[in-house]
A and B are shown apart, each in its own frame.
Chain A
Amino acid sequence: MNLDRIYMDNAATTAVSPIVLEKMLPYFTEIYGNASSIHGTGREARKALEDARRRVAAVLNCKPNELYFTSGGSESDNWAIKGIAFANRKRGNHIITSSIEHHAVLHTCQWLEKQGFTVTYLPVDEFGRVSVKDVEAAITDQTILISVMAANNEIGTLQPIREIAKVAKQHKVYFHTDAVQAIGAIPIDVQEIGCDMLSLSGHKFHGPKGVGALYIRQGTRIDPFMHGGAQERGKRATTENIPGIIGLATAIELATENLEEKSARISSMRDQLIDQLTALPYVRLNGHRTERLPNNVNISVRFVEGEALLLRLDLAGIAASSGSACTSGSLDPSHVLLAIGLPHEIAHGSLRLSLSDTTKQEDIDYVLSVLPGIIDDLRAMSPLYHDFMEANK
């Protein structure tokens, strides 16, 4: 790997921190026991598992027995939504979510519709915010669950989850939030938020991939997800991934330590990117200017296609991401960009740069030194730009 590469795709995944890796390693070869075994090797693993659970619970401000380890953010979202849906079917069959959720939530809801549930997909405003009034208005006597993400993975918009939690509570409806992008970026305290369930994923905050967690408030009526052994208090079978869980616990502690200071530093770099890039002609910011993840930049560059931008950035050693139709496989632009009302051709030129606490000022300077030239090059070969300039002569 070229060490000079600048990685600005931390919303997709992050590097495992060296400290996290070091803490994980003994659990592959030395403390490798099955946490369900009676013998000493098993008891050691059990102790490590429960210790990790206590540490993660302390970060989220919940009880250790309200925390369940899973295989990642997608599983946590699937479990929360399907688990509530099937366990509460007698009470009602209606679920409320937003139109800009991650596919782990949206596709789960779409599948539940095929199983006879009804789902309301709330619209968002031009900045990607869900309205609390809309949430309240959508509640019926059949509503059993509201699921709205804490922060959007594409455009970084923060949702009013505390207010939504309040409304849910008043109407005695469960509230789940996907906080996969929010952990390590903004303070997350489940008591202060007031949610009943919260999803997180290790690899988004310098922990390992393939491990996540679901917070489930005590007393929540939810079905088990994986049937089998009695692991995770009978709710999620499979021999626990102790190295991964140790990694997640270590990473979440590191990520939330000095959070205010770190996010101030990262958001100042984010703002340099936003201010200087949106000062270029025909470049707009996607998402909310202030109610935004500290590490997220998402712009649309008119007259330019996102995949071409990504490839040119990659050739310059910069890793980024786009919601363009050409990068999607399905050849549809991102559902999030369409939901905030962007026309196809503007969604086409979207570019996401996502920072982390390993991002350096030099990285920002370098991106700002090469990106405008790349935009000029691509516009010079764009028939749309040509026509636009002719028409506006």
Chain B
Amino acid sequence: MYSEKVMDHFSNPRNVGEIPDADGVGTVGNAKCGDIMRMYLKVDENGVITDVKFKTFGCGAAIATSSMATEMVKGKTLKEALKLTNAAVAEALDGLPPVKMHCSLLAEEAVKAAVEDYMKKHPEAVID
């Protein structure tokens, strides 16, 4: 039921772990099935995401979308990261089964929550 790309990211997830001195951390939960995803960001003075890590409690699709989302925002600006959509993550994984689309939403929301946390901690930062 999962594409080869999903299985690849599930069995060898990229950027798993935590960043102890992260600049932004976002945790989101899935109201639908009760799963949880957390993203850690390291951001430089130019607003570029230099490092990102995740922890996920969820299904294969949740783990694979977390992994893919970290790859997609690494090296990007915060502004670019905020534009990440769950559809783009799912597409980058060669698609997800319809019942699993909500898991990719979790990845989008986790990135957004981490960026928001960064903004809260760095009120001087502007995303233009």
A331-B55 CB under 8 A given contacts A325-B33, A384-B36: no
Q: How many residues of A contact B (CB 8 A)?
A: 24
- Contact yes or no, B16 A348, CB < 8 A: no
CB<8 Å pairs between A and B, sample of 16: A305-B57, A305-B62, A307-B60, A308-B60, A311-B11, A312-B11, A315-B11, A325-B33, A326-B35, A331-B102, A348-B35, A381-B13, A383-B36, A383-B56, A384-B57, A386-B55
Tell me which residues across on chain A come within 8 A of B17, comparing CB atoms: 381
Cα distance, A210 to B81, chains bound together (Å): 52
- Contact among A308, A326, A380 with B33 in the assembled complex (CB-CB below 8 Å): A326
- Contact yes or no, A383 B34, CB < 8 A: no
Nearest opposing residue in chain B for A329, CB measure: B99
Question: Helix, strand, loop or mixed for chain B's interface?
Answer: mixed
Best-surrounded residue of A303, A308, A381 (most CB of chain B within 10 A) = A381
Interface set, chain B 12-43, CB cutoff 8 A to A: 13, 16-18, 27, 32-38
Tell me which residues across on chain A come within 8 A of B35, comparing CB atoms: 305, 326, 348
- Contact yes or no, B58 A305, CB < 8 A: yes
Confirm or deny: A223 has a beta carbon within 8 angstroms of a beta carbon on chain B.
Answer: no
Expressed in whole angstroms, the minimum distance between the Cβ of A4 and any Cβ of chain B is 18
Enumerate chain B interface residues (CB-CB to A < 8 A).
Answer: 2, 7, 10-11, 13, 16-18, 27, 32-38, 54-60, 62-63, 99, 102
Enumerate chain A interface residues (CB-CB to B < 8 A).
Answer: 303-305, 307-308, 311-312, 315, 324-327, 329, 331, 344-345, 348, 380-386
Best-surrounded residue of B17, B56, B57 (most CB of chain A within 10 A) = B57
Tell me which residues across on chain B come within 8 A of A312, comparing CB atoms: 11
Tell me which residues across on chain A come within 8 A of B54, comparing CB atoms: 381
Expressed in whole angstroms, the minimum distance between the Cβ of B48 and any Cβ of chain A is 25
Cα distance, A326 to B36, chains bound together (Å): 12
- Contact yes or no, B60 A386, CB < 8 A: no
- Contact yes or no, B33 A331, CB < 8 A: yes
Tell me which residues across on chain B come within 8 A of A304, comparing CB atoms: 57
Tell me which residues across on chain B come within 8 A of A305, comparing CB atoms: 35, 57-59, 62
- Contact yes or no, A308 B16, CB < 8 A: no
- Contact among A315, A325, A382 with B55 in the assembled complex (CB-CB below 8 Å): A382
A381-B56 CB under 8 A given contacts A326-B33, A348-B34: yes
Cα distance, A308 to B67, chains bound together (Å): 14
Cα distance, A383 to B36, chains bound together (Å): 7
Cα distance, A380 to B57, chains bound together (Å): 10
- Contact yes or no, B57 A382, CB < 8 A: yes
Cα distance, A384 to B10, chains bound together (Å): 18
- Contact yes or no, A381 B59, CB < 8 A: no
Cα distance, A326 to B56, chains bound together (Å): 14
- Contact yes or no, A325 B34, CB < 8 A: yes
Cα distance, A385 to B11, chains bound together (Å): 19
- Contact yes or no, A308 B99, CB < 8 A: no
- Contact yes or no, B16 A381, CB < 8 A: yes
Tell me which residues across on chain A come within 8 A of B60, comparing CB atoms: 307-308, 311
Nearest opposing residue in chain B for A304, CB measure: B57
Expressed in whole angstroms, the minimum distance between the Cβ of A275 and any Cβ of chain B is 27
Expressed in whole angstroms, the minimum distance between the Cβ of A238 and any Cβ of chain B is 33
